[in-house]
Amino acid sequence: MTKNQYVFNTTLEGFVNVFEPSGKYNNCAFSFKLPEEVMGPAEKDREELLAWAKTKVENPKRIQINRPKWDDEGLVSYSFLGETGRGRPVFVDCNGDPVEPSVLKSIRKGTKVRLVVKQTPYTRPNLGTTLKVSGGKILQLATGNGATDSGELSVDDINALLGTETEGYKQSSPAVKKDVDSAPCSVEPNYDF
């Protein structure tokens, strides 16, 4: 495990698009919460990273410091590709196999994942830290499937960090069940013309 890198289980929240860039900013996005046991070390690391970043600017007293990338409850809104300049995270199933594009297209809110996230500092235009999701393992799929681009980490790198043969979603043998908490996106009337 490298410094400022966190590996943890969480659930994808909000709008989830990990397939193709779209929308106003032509990017992919999802949200997740940092667990309490990760927030403490992440906040401590942030202070150290900001102290380092201040040594890299001419007048650190005159530069503004941006807020953390997570809110008070640990919620992170993450985007990649498009205008963000961030590469696509590698998503694998519990066997360690890369998730196919057709599955990536269907990943939705409620998908349980194990993520690898790294925190890094920046000095322009203000001081701050950012989070980069390197990869994730799908533990329980809420209708979805996999990635085609490995970004900076290869599939082997993600499997080394997250391990293989975990209980949960396996692309080769899906076990679909009805999620009691899920409701249809909309109920539309059936018109017969």
Q: What is the DSSP string of 59-119?
A: -GGGS-BPPPSB-TT-EEEEEESGGG-PPPPEEE-TTSPBPPHHHHHH--TT-EEEEEEEE
pLDDT tens sequence across 50-109: 999 999 888 877 788 999 999 999 999 999 876 666 788 999 998 899 999 888 888 889
CA 46 to chain CA centroid, Å, is 18
Whole-prediction pTM value? 0.70
Domains of the chain from N-terminus onward: 5-162 (2.40.50.140)
Q: What is the pLDDT of residue 125?
A: 84
- β-partners of residue 118 are 5, 132
Q: Which of 17-31, 34-48, 90-104 has the highest mean pLDDT?
A: 34-48
How does residue 32 score in pLDDT terms, banded at 50, 70 and 90? Answer: very high
- What spatial distance separates the first Cα and last Cα of the chain, rounded to whole Å? 61
Is 57 strand, coil or helix?
Answer: coil
CA 118 to chain CA centroid, Å, is 10
Nearest CA to 102 out of 33, 171, 54 is that of: 171
Q: What is the pLDDT of residue 144?
A: 38
User: CA-to-CA distance for 170 and 172, rounded, in angstroms?
Assistant: 5
Residue predicted with more confidence, 164 or 22: 22
User: CA-to-CA distance for 65 and 68, rounded, in angstroms?
Assistant: 9
Residue predicted with more confidence, 181 or 4: 4
Q: What is the pLDDT of residue 24?
A: 74
pLDDT tens sequence across 104-151: 888 889 999 999 999 999 988 889 999 999 999 999 888 733 332 233
